[in-house]
Amino acid sequence: MTVRSELLDCVQANLAVLADRHHGAGTHLNLGAALRFRWRAEQLPTVEPTLEQHISDAENLLGLRLADRRTVTDGPLTAAVRPGEQAYVIADAYELPWVPYFQQRHMEHSFLLTADGEVVDAYANDTQWGPATPGTWQYPDLRIAGEVLHFTPGVAPNPVASLDGGEIEEYVSAYESEPDRVAALDRLTLETWLLARSRKLHAAFREHRGLPTPTALAEHLSRWDALVEQTYLAYRRVVRGRPEPAAVVERLRAVLAADREVFALGDERWRRSVAGVVASVLDVPEQQLLGGVSFTSLPRFSSFRLVEIVEQLESELGADIDAADLLPENLHRLDDLCQVIRPPAVRTEGVLP
């Protein structure tokens, strides 16, 4: 397996295997293109993506199109797998004998399955019941309920790095004010784990794409790791009836706020100024460009409009671009464009904003 299992959750890990198989090693890192902080309201708010969100990411970020989907409630799962193909399966980890959650904890878990019963699972994690280790097993008569999905390769996507932030205070305050501290810290243990892995995945995506490494990155990721550890220790402590350690939630608030500084994509004011020029030429909302859409997918885009964009950036913003950077791959998305078109003072000083 070529995937960075240590960066992925248990639903992403096996989508990653399919993506690299169809589109080449490293494709799975596209899952980290957007640094997200999206949460939805439940009894306690959660950043855990739904299965539908994962399926959407599979198509938009990994180039995997959902061909069919079947719910199996009885009989062997292999009966729902097409011969010669490898299906992607979602089932309850409590029922899966190769994972440490077996007969221990109910949670969604993914794996790949062939018609003859070969199971591939790329997930990796240390748990209180032992390690989850990537591997291959034979379970031709696995009789459990599950969702069996078949994906086909689509167009290989080319996402750009982006920040997708949400409201921090309401999310954090819900955990701070929850009276059931065992429930709050139990859930927060998973939340901080998901957030920490996604930050590492975003950093790996940026490195894979050759983007500059933020100077404070290593320290920031270490702070996330420390928070995951502290949250789990706090949970184990309150389960035993001991006092909750102070400042767990406050540290979460601080590292979430620091995300925006550490992972900032250059000068945001400059980025929005460039987006304004491009939006006026292509007659689209700025927000659409800020979201990472390819200019080539927009109705008004053409080589003539591209020339107009460059000329207006030079005339209206005083921007400049080196002749060596005038390559299509540098000019078709906002953040790619911002990497090569700089304010004159920045270009003169040789310092990135």
> pLDDT tens across 304-329, in order?
999 999 999 988 888 877 888 888 88
Question: Is the Cβ–Cβ distance between 190 and 49 less than 8 Å?
Answer: no
Domains of the chain and any CATH numbers: 5-153 (3.90.70), 268-349 (1.10.1200.10)
**AA letter at 272:** R
CA 79 to chain CA mean position, Å: 32
Between 229 and 214, the more confident residue is 229
**Distance in Å from the first CA to the final CA of the chain:** 38
Q: In 3D, which of 192, 191, 185 has the Cα closest to residue 225?
A: 192
β-strand 34-36 against 162-164: which pairing, if any?
parallel
Give the pLDDT confidence of 38-76 residue by residue, as tens digits. 999 999 999 999 999 999 999 999 999 999 999 999 889
Determine the pLDDT at residue 267: 63
Q: pTM to 2 decimals?
A: 0.78
**AA letter at 269:** R
Question: Is the Cβ–Cβ distance between 13 and 3 less than 8 Å?
Answer: yes
DSSP string, 251-283: HHHHHHHHHHHHT--S-HHHHHHHHHHHHHHHT
Highest mean pLDDT among 178-187, 210-219, 271-280, 339-348: 178-187
> Which stretches of the chain are assigned E, i.e. beta strand?
34-36, 64-72, 86-92, 108-114, 118-121, 125-127, 130-132, 135-138, 146-153, 162-164
* Torsion sign, CA atoms 190, 196, 200, 203: positive
What DSSP character marks residue 185?
Answer: H
Structure tokens at 42: 């439940």
d(CA 10, CA 121): 9
Q: Which residues pair with 109 in a beta bridge?
A: 91
Ranking 93-102, 132-141, 279-288 by mean pLDDT, the lowest is 279-288
Burial (Cβ within 10 Å: 0-12, 13-18, ≥19) of residue 181: middle
Question: Is the Cβ–Cβ distance between 58 and 90 less than 8 Å?
Answer: no
**Percent of the chain with pLDDT strictly greater than 70:** 95
At residue 236, φ and ψ (nearest 5 deg) are -60, -35
Q: In 3D, which of 177, 165, 99 has the Cα closest to residue 131?
A: 99
Determine the pLDDT at residue 292: 74
**AA letter at 285:** P
DSSP string, 108-131: EEEEEEETT-EEEE---EEETTEE
d(CA 105, CA 237): 20
**AA letter at 72:** V
Determine the pLDDT at residue 143: 95
